Amino acid sequence: MEIKDIPFQVFDLENMAAEEHPGVTGKAFWKTVSKGNLRIRIVEYTPGYLADHWCEKGHAVFVLEGEFESELRDGRNFTLRTGMCYLVADFTDAHRSFTKDGVKLLIVD
């Protein structure tokens, strides 16, 4: 990731209005700041959320609260809990998220 042409800025993601994105089951709520080629989000998945697509985008994902599973299209599964993170590059490992009890994430892509 190369971040360029973005001057120093401060944002209050917690107090932004959230966008609702339905999953196969459950919902995702995104609070997003986009600047240049960079997107920073606080994402909350409701209990029982399953993503409605296989994501090919690269991310840095940090678990703020809760637990979720990141399933890769090749069948691998990873459980991430509060304080854990994962990194994936664009177009390398298609992935989707599931959470039994809900989760709150910080995602940078």
Give the pLDDT confidence of 41-87 residue by residue, as tens digits: 999 999 999 999 999 999 999 999 999 999 999 999 999 999 999 99
Is there a domain that residue 4 lies in?
Answer: no
C-alpha–C-alpha distance, residues 30 and 22, integer Å: 11
Among candidates 62, 61, 72, 67, which has minimal Cα distance to 95?
72
On whether residue 1 sits in a domain, the answer given is no
Compute φ and ψ for 56, nearest 5 degrees.
-105, -5
Both tokens assigned to 31: 């609070």
- If one counts every other C-beta atom within 10 angstroms of the C-beta of residue 39, the result is 15
CATH number of residue 90's parent domain: 2.60.120.10
Specify if 3 maps to a domain. Answer: no
User: Structural domain tally of the chain?
Assistant: 1
Could you tell me the two tokens for 76? 């691998």
Q: In terms of pTM, does the model score above 0.85?
A: yes
H-helix or E-strand spanning residue 31? strand 27-35
Collapse the DSSP code of 42 into the 3-class scheme (helix H, G, I; strand E, B; otherwise coil) and give the result: strand
Residue 56 lies in a domain: yes
Q: In this model, does residue 4 exceed pLDDT 90?
A: no
pLDDT digits (tens, 9 = 90+) for 28-41: 999 999 998 889 99
* Domain boundaries, position 56: 18-108
> How sure is the predictor about 96, in pLDDT bands with cuts at 50, 70 and 90?
very high
